[in-house]
Structures are given as C-alpha cells and as structure tokens.
Amino acid sequence: MEEAIFKLNNVYFSYLGKYPALCGVSMDILKGQKITILGANGSGKSTLLQLLDGLIFPDKGSIFAFDRQLNEEVLNDEAFSRKFRSKVGFVFQNPDVQLFCPTVEEDISFGPLHLGVNLDVVKKRVNDLADSLGIMSLLRRSAHQLSVGEKRKVAIASTLAVDPEVLLLDEPTAGLDPQTARHIIDIIIEANARGKTIITATHDLHIVEEIADTIYIMSNEKKIAKSGATQVLLADLDLLKTHNLMHVHRHKHKDEAHIHSHQHLDHHT
Ligand SMILES: Nc1ncnc2c1ncn2[C@@H]1O[C@H](COP(=O)(O)OP(=O)(O)OP(=O)(O)O)[C@@H](O)[C@H]1O
Ligand SMILES: [Mg+2]
C-alpha cells in the first residue's frame, strides 16, 4: 500500500466565519496518485486546494501532510515551511495572484531562488521551461502586460520551476488555446510518470480521463458527493448532470429552437 501524503479528516472551512466553503470533507491522497476535483461553481474546489497548500486552515477537523498536522503554527516554523513549500506547488486559478515580480524571468526564478536552489540550476530550469512552454520571448516582459493564457503559462512555469513532489493545479487549462492545453496536459502526465502526485480542479471533462485516475465530485452542499475511479464516475451521466457537469445547448432544428443537455465528453457534430 502506498503511503498517504495528505490525510483530511472531517474538514470544515468558512470564509470570515460566515461563508461556508467546505463542510465535512475527508480524503486520503496517496503518493503518485492523479486526482481531479470536479463540481459546480462555488462547490469548494479552490478552497480544498488552498487547504492542501497550507494557505488556509480548517475551522474544524484536521489535515495531515507528510505526517505533520497543518496549522498556522507549523507553517510559521521556518524549517517546516521551507520543506513543505519545496514539496508542494500550487498553480492558482487566477494567475494574477501568483505573479508579482517586475519580469516574467524573475517570476519563474522566484520560487527556486527563495528555496536556495543554485543560481545556475535555476537559470537552466527557467530556460528549459520557457522553451518547452513557448514563452521564451516573454521572459523580459512584465507578467501584468500579458494575455490571460500567457499569464497562465508563466504561472505554471513558476510552479514547475520549484520541481515539487505534489502539484496542485486549479483549472490549469482554462483560457488556453487547444494546442497549449494539450501541452500542459502532456506536462502533467509526464510529471506523474516521474512519480509526482497531481491534484487538479477542473470543469473540463475532456481532460479528466488523462489527468486523473481518481475523481472526487463536490456537491453544492460543499461536501464530497462521490469519489471513485475516473472511468466509473465519468460513465455515470445522472451523477454528472446532478452536479452541473453537463452542457446545456440551444440550437435550431429546421426552424424550431431546442434546448438540451449533453456532457462535455460528447463531440459536437
Ligand atoms: N474570499 C472569499 N470570501 C468569501 N467567500 C468566499 C471566498 N472565496 C470563496 N468563497 C465562497 O466559498 C465557496 C467555495 O468557493 P470556491 O472558490 O472554493 O469554489 P470553486 O468550486 O473553486 O468554484 P469555481 O468553479 O467557481 O472556481 C463559495 O460559496 C464561495 O462563494
Ligand atoms: Mg475555483
């Protein structure tokens, strides 16, 4: 049996003590797993990832990461925090939160330099990642002047530059053109093949089969409605419909407008 690197036990979290965002979530995440969190807008996906990254802490219940309970005190411990930050990387849903340096090059270098990685190693990582993601020409620019998709690529590069064991990716393909999205998926698959644990939140069912072996579906009550093997849950159309994971389309047959739903996996013909 693989070791559990994260253990969540009946975790509750609310913003400002009055906006519930997670209501009793328990899960074990094993080393090397590929997990996707699915669920409607506001069901708690981003909140769950922020808890796993130790950015916020449960109101009730507990989270253990690498056998230590995550709380404010533990993450204020410089030695633990440094170790934790080098092991766990987070690509935020909103790349603006993550990019704050004068140039893209500095944004990508920031994490590994901060964690004490040798300058030459950092330079090589920045170059390799920029080359692989096709953002070499952006290195001297400010991230604030970039398009949404370009910002997302820089945010992904800045997280990968740390080479963490666990990658938390919040909507990693949102706003990306199809080829770039494909490339990000390949990077995720390749990282997992090298033993990295991958935890994503997404609405894009097209990519789930490739980036997840296990799915957790969050409900509007901000609990886990169902978890299980990707193939099994993606085949449960009623479940997907209940949790807003189906498209609703309006189109015309002859002169009559029809509205019907279909899952994201269906192909448009
Ligand atoms: N900063 C905040 N202040 C107050 N409430 C918040 C804040 N961030 C999130 N919430 C609330 O917490 C709940 C969960 O939000 P969360 O962002 O985790 O959902 P999500 O599943 O990631 O949604 P989306 O698919 O839209 O990204 C929502 O009801 C939301 O309104
Ligand atoms: Mg979110």
* Choice among 48-52, 204-208, 244-248 with the minimum mean pLDDT: 244-248
Q: Considering Cα of 221, then 21, then 152, then 147, what sign does the dihedral take?
A: positive
| Backbone Cα Rg of the chain | 19
Residue 206 pLDDT class (50, 70, 90 cuts): confident
In the predicted model, is pLDDT for residue 268 greater than 50?
Answer: no
How far apart, in Å, are the Cα atoms of 250 and each of 240, 254, 259?
19, 13, 4
Shortest-distance atom of ligand 1 to CA 44: 18
d(CA 38, CA 17): 25
Contact 91, 170 (CB under 8 A): yes
> Is a pLDDT exceeding 50 seen at residue 104?
yes
Does 43 contact ligand 1 (Cβ within 6 A)?
Answer: yes
The pLDDT value recorded for residue 269 is: 38
Ligand whose nearest atom lies closest to the CA of 56: 1
* Full-model pTM: 0.92
Q: Among residues 214, 184, 164, which one has the least CA distance to residue 2? A: 214
Is the distance from the beta carbon of residue 197 to the nearest atom of ligand 1 less than 6 Å?
Answer: no
User: Could you state, in order of their start, the residue ranges of all structural domains in the chain?
Assistant: 4-263
User: In this structure, which ligand is nearest to the CA of 169?
Assistant: 2
- Residue 55 near ligand 1, beta carbon < 6 Å: no
CA atoms of 265 and 36, how far apart (whole Å): 16
d(CA 132, CA 100): 22
Q: Cβ(33) to ligand 1 under 6 A?
A: no
Dihedral pair phi/psi, residue 173, rounded to 5°: -105, 5
Instruction: Work out the mean pLDDT of the chain and round it to a whole number.
Output: 91
Residue nearest to atom 6 of ligand 1 (CA): 15
pLDDT digits (tens, 9 = 90+) for 48-64: 999 999 999 999 999 99
pLDDT tens digits along 65-101: 999 999 999 999 999 999 999 999 999 999 999 999 9
Sequential DSSP letters for the chain: -PPEEEEEEEEEEEETTTEEEEEEEEEEEETT-EEEEEESTTSSHHHHHHHHTTSS--SEEEEEETTEE--HHHHHSHHHHHHHHHHEEEE-SSGGGT--SSSHHHHHHHHHHHTT--HHHHHHHHHHHHHHHT-GGGTTS-GGGS-HHHHHHHHHHHHHTT--SEEEEESTTTT--HHHHHHHHHHHHHHHHTT-EEEEE-S-HHHHHHH-SEEEEE-TTSSEEEEEEHHHHHT-HHHHHHTT-EEEEEEEETTEEEEEEEETTSPP-
Cβ of 39 less than 6 Å from ligand 1: yes
Return d(Cα 98, Cα 107) in angstroms, integer. Answer: 8
Using the predicted structure, report yes or no on whether residue 258 has a pLDDT greater than 70: no
Q: Please, are residues 246 and 236 in contact by the beta-carbon 8 Å criterion?
A: no
221 lines ligand 1 (CB under 6 A): no
Domain 4-263 grouped into CATH 3.30.2320.80: no
Taking the CA of 203 as reference, the closest ligand is: 1
What is the bridge-based pairing of β-strands 34-39 and 19-30? unpaired
